[in-house]
């Protein structure tokens, strides 16, 4: 699916701004053609939760109405018109001028509707009904229940099966764009480098709605806007001596695709792309043929006031901070991030492990790892949850959306599923096959292992290209005892290495809750001293293993989550606070990462 941009043949209209908003009382007295009265004024895009000061609205579980009016000029009357949501969390029913025009389930991927026949010149009323409910068929997974209050009213509840606040709303831009009635629908770019990188063949597939006499022309431009190759869909497009997209040193070409009728250009679209190779070989993760070392973070889309809504300024600052401390990569834990962030990572050379919403696929999510001790790994996750359809859908939508991004070097199919439970292999095998089939660039695939999934218990690692581990020795296990934690860390890495000598291993999470400003001489848990010691211990062990290819710590910044006895106003494992101030450990991590090269660290 193409990102909405202005081109000589396309116009976009951004519907961001202040919309009308109201909780749906489910009495059925509002119909989507009416003006939403007695409403609150709320910003779009953003989560609704932290914009309101009324607890009952902030914490409401159920349905919500959003509404705005917009004007369409007569000028574009003859154009095809499309309404596109970057995301609406988690399920949306969309009405234009009172008529239902679309429905989408899944809160982190874009969807669009052709409104050519429904939009009118002049005023149009756009109404959206939204649900923030999650259950055992959705991703992320939620535990849904219903009760009644003292007045006999239905009360819905979602107990998140994951550790982040269940923000909801219209989180990403709502854009109206126009095209000619014959148009470019999709572009897939797959650059192939030859062995010595002296040449790149740029394979481009274009999906169009066109008539037989129409033709597709492709022109490739470098960063100085110089034409470097051109041709139609049957011609091989070759770039000699290509500039490679490198981690932290991005180079982006542009593919300009034109749909032509003789000399008339009916539609044109410009897609940025980078040329780079990615390969997993002999225990290494190779980018452009060289062993890459991941340094970076699991993150969240999470900022004050905006919640999970797009915050371009925060994204820019986060990347600036990452560069300053020597990081080179992120994982989009635990859902697809905004298209704006993905484009920024392309531009800034940030390497991305791109994750689906496959989080919470575990019968009961908690922080109790005692099952590690008593060996009771058999839960009924894969018979009691029913997430296959949602999982297939998000894999399709994620890869369709992000397939052209140079920054994406690996897909993460899930975070911390019950991969030790009966049925895990049968559940994941077809999902991995689907992802491999959908990706034109055939990137490596992984899923992220929870602690209970270790070399003895894990059932699915035959599927992955890289073994990705979330590990909390010294925190959830052997809490506060870093000597024991060090031995456990080393022991487990040795066991993985023995079992899969050909597969690279990396940490995709490790961290300790740290309350900024809390200090102690004896480095007690929750203090800034403990966080620093915890990381030093882990890093000592990482450096002993040749096929250990990366460290992405948890988390870049403190973030909002559901309340619980393990949480002090949010998850405090950030090395930055939620407002992006550094904790003490930032200095030592920065010292380490600025000395670890992006390539050949373990050579
Ligand atoms: C994990 C999860 C992450 C949590 C983290 C924690 O393993 O993947 O979503 O936030 O642990 O801090 O407990």
CA angle 438, 435, 158 (to 5 degrees): 120
With a CB cutoff of 8 Å and minimum separation 6, the contacts of 151 are none
Q: Of 364-368, 436-440, 463-467, where does mean pLDDT reach its minimum?
A: 364-368
Task: Give the model's confidence band at 489: pLDDT under 50 very low, under 70 low, under 90 confident, else very high.
Answer: very high
Average pLDDT over residues 459-468: 98
Specify the pLDDT at position 369: 64
pLDDT of residue 374: 67
Q: Compute the distance between CA of residue 463 and CA of residue 430 in angstroms, rounded to an integer.
A: 10
Instruction: Using most ligand atoms within 8 A of CB, pick from 163, 414, 477, 572 the residue to mutate for ligand 1.
Output: 163
Indicate the fold that domain 183-273 takes in CATH. Answer: Immunoglobulin-like (2.60.40)
Cα angle vertex 571, ends 568, 574, to 5°? 120
Active site residue 522: no
Res 506: pLDDT: 98
State how beta strands 294-298 and 290-291 pair: unpaired
Both structure tokens of 96: 């234009």
Structure tokens at 255: 């593919």
Residue 203: strand pairing partners: 190
Assign 368 a pLDDT band (cuts: 50, 70, 90): low
Say whether 509 is catalytic.
yes
Condensed to tens digits (0 to 9), the pLDDT of residues 556-578 reads: 999 999 999 999 999 999 999 99
Within 10 angstroms of residue 136's Cβ, the number of other Cβ atoms is: 18
- The whole-angstrom separation of Cα 322 and Cα 176 is 34
544 HSE (CA, 13 A, CB side): 14
Contact (CB, 8 A) for 583 and 516: yes
The reply to whether omega before 555 is within 30° of 0 (cis) is yes
Identified catalytic residue from 416, 492, 528, 532: 416
Torsion over CA: 300, 305, 307, 313 (sign): negative
Which residue of 418, 563, 571, 574 sits with most ligand 1 atoms within 8 Å of its CB, as the best mutation to test the pocket? 571
Q: Give one DSSP letter per residue of 31-50, joined into a string.
A: -TTS---SPEEEEESS-SGG
Pairing of strands 548-554, 294-298: parallel
Quick one: CA torsion of 278, 280, 281, 284, rounded to 10 degrees? 100
Residue 16 above 80 pLDDT? yes
Provide the CB-side half-sphere exposure for 165 (13 A, CA).
27
Q: Identify the burial level of 202 via C-beta atoms within 10 angstroms of its C-beta, where 0-12 means exposed, 13-18 middle and 19 or more buried.
A: buried
Q: Which tens digits make up the pLDDT trace of 178-218?
A: 999 999 999 999 999 999 999 999 999 999 999 999 999 99
367, pLDDT greater than 60: no
Nearest to 39 by CA among 13, 55, 57: 57
Q: With pLDDT > 70 as the criterion, what percentage of the chain qualifies? A: 98
Of the residues 112, 160, 492, 509, which is catalytic? Answer: 509
Both structure tokens of 110: 């874009």
Region of residue 196 (phi > 0: left; psi between -120 and 50: alpha; otherwise: beta): alpha
Is residue 433 scored above 70 in pLDDT? yes
Report how far ligand 1's centroid is from the alpha carbon of 496 (Å).
Answer: 21
Q: Is 362 exposed, middle or buried (0-12, 13-18, 19+ CB in 10 A)?
A: buried
pTM listed for this prediction: 0.98
List all residues whose CB is within 6 A of at least one atom of ligand 1. Answer: 163, 334, 415-416, 470, 509, 554, 571, 573
So what's the pLDDT on residue 236?
Answer: 87
In the predicted structure, residue 325 carries a pLDDT above the cut 80:
yes
Q: Which atom of ligand 1 is nearest to the CA of 334?
A: 9
- What is the distance in A from the centroid of ligand 1 to the CA of 165? 12
Percent of the chain with pLDDT over 90: 94
Contact 573, 520 (CB under 8 A): no
Q: CA-CA distance, 146 to 180, in Å (whole number)?
A: 48
Q: In b/e form, how buried is each residue of 155-166, taking b as 16+ CB within 10 angstroms?
A: ebebebbbbbbb
* Separation CA 576–CA 555 (nearest Å): 8
pLDDT-based confidence at 379, cuts 50/70/90? Answer: confident
What pLDDT is attached to residue 373? 65
H/E stretch holding 112 reads: strand 111-114
pLDDT digits (tens, 9 = 90+) for 491-505: 999 999 999 999 999
Report the mean per-residue pLDDT for the chain.
96
**How does pLDDT run across 107-153, given as a tens digit for each residue?**
999 999 999 999 999 999 999 999 999 999 999 999 999 999 999 99
Q: Is the pLDDT of residue 372 over 70?
A: no
Residue corresponding to tokens 């234009």:
96
**Class of the 11-179 domain?**
mainly beta
**Nearest ligand 1 atom, CA 367:** 13
Q: Where are the domains of the chain?
A: 11-179, 183-273, 278-593
Residues 6+ apart with CB under 8 A from 150: none
Q: For the structural domain made of 278-593, what CATH number should be given?
A: 3.20.20.80
pLDDT at residue 365 greater than cutoff 70? no
**pLDDT number for residue 8:** 97
Give me the pLDDT at residue 228, please: 98
Distance CA 291, CA 599 (A): 5
Per residue in 45-96, pLDDT tens?
999 999 999 999 999 999 999 999 999 998 888 999 999 999 999 999 999 9
Per the model's pLDDT, the better-predicted residue between 370 and 21 turns out to be 21
Cβ-proximal residues to 471 (8 Å cutoff; 6+ apart), any chain: 451, 489, 492, 507, 509, 510
The residue whose CA has the least distance to atom 3 of ligand 1 is 163
In this prediction, residue 376 carries a pLDDT of 65
Residue from 470, 507, 515, 526 to probe ligand 1 pocket by mutation (most atoms less than 8 Å from CB): 470
Indicate if the pLDDT at residue 375 is higher than 80. Answer: no
Find the length of the chain: 603
Residue 371 binned pLDDT confidence (cut-offs 50, 70, 90): low
Look at the block and give the residue holding tokens 């040449």: 199
Give me ligand 1 centre to Cα 238, in Å.
45
Cα–Cα distance, 481 to 489 (Å, whole number):
12
């Amino acid at each position: 699916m193409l990102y909405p941009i202005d081109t000589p043949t396309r116009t976009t209209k951004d519907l961001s701004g202040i919309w009308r908003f109201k909780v749906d009382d489910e009495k059925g007295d509002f119909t989507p053609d009416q003006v939403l009265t007695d409403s609150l004024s709320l910003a779009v895009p953003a989560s609704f939760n932290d914009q309101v000061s009324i607890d009952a609205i902030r914490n409401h579980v159920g349905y919500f109405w959003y509404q705005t009016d917009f004007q369409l000029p007569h000028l574009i009357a003859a154009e095809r018109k499309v309404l596109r949501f970057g995301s609406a969390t988690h399920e949306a029913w969309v009405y234009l001028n009172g008529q239902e025009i679309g429905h989408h389930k899944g809160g982190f991927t874009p969807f669009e509707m052709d409104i050519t026949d429904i939009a009118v010149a002049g005023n149009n009323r756009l109404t959206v009904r939204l649900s923030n409910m999650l259950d055992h068929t959705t991703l992320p997974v939620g535990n849904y229940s219903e009760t009644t209050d003292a007045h006999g009213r239905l009360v819905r509840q979602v107990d998140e099966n994951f550790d982040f606040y269940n923000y909801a709303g219209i989180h990403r831009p709502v854009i109206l764009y126009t095209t000619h009635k014959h148009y470019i629908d999709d572009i897939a770019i797959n650059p192939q480098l030859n062995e010595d990188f002296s040449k790149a063949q740029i394979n481009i597939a274009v999906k169009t709605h066109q008539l037989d006499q129409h033709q597709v022309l492709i022109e490739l431009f470098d960063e100085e806007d110089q034409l470097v190759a051109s041709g139609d869909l049957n011609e091989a497009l070759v770039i000699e001596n290509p500039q490679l997209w490198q981690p932290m040193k991005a180079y982006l070409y542009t593919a300009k695709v034109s749909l032509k009728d003789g000399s008339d250009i009916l539609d044109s679209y410009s897609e940025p792309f980078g040329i780079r190779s990615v390969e997993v070989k002999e225990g290494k993760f190779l980018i452009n043929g060289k062993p890459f070392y991941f340094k970076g973070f699991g993150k969240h889309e999470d900022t004050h006031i905006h919640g999970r809504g797009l915050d371009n300024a925060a994204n820019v600052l986060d990347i600036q901070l990452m560069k300053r401390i020597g990081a080179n990569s992120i994982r989009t834990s635990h859902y697809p991030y905004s298209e704006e962030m993905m484009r920024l990572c392309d531009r800034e050379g940030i390497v991305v492990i791109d994750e689906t919403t496959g989080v919470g696929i575990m019968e009961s999510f908690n922080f109790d790892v005692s099952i590690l001790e008593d060996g009771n790994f058999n839960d009924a996750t894969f018979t009691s949850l029913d997430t296959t359809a949602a999982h297939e859908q998000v894999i399709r939508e994620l890869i369709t959306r992000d397939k052209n991004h140079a920054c994406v070097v690996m897909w993460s199919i899930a975070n911390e599923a019950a991969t030790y439970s009966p049925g895990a292999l049968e559940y994941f095998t077809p999902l991995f096959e689907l992802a491999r089939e959908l990706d034109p660039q055939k990137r490596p695939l992984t899923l992220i292992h929870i602690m209970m999934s270790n070399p003895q218990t894990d059932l699915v690692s035959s599927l992955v290209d890289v073994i990705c581990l979330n590990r909390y020795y010294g925190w959830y296990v052997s809490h506060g005892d870093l000597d024991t934690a060090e031995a456990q860390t080393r022991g487990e890495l040795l066991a993985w290495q023995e079992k899969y000598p050909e597969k690279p291993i990396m940490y995709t999470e490790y961290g300790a809750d740290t309350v900024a400003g809390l200090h102690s001489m004896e480095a007690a848990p929750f203090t800034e001293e403990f966080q620093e010691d915890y990381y030093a211990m882990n890093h000592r062990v990482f450096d002993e293993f040749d096929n250990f290819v990366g460290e992405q710590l948890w988390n870049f910044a403190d973030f909002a989550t559901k309340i619980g006895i393990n949480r002090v106003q949010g998850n405090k494992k950030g090395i930055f606070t939620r407002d992006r101030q550094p904790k003490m450990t930032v200095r030592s991590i920065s010292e380490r990462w600025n000395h670890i090269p992006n390539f050949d660290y373990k050579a």
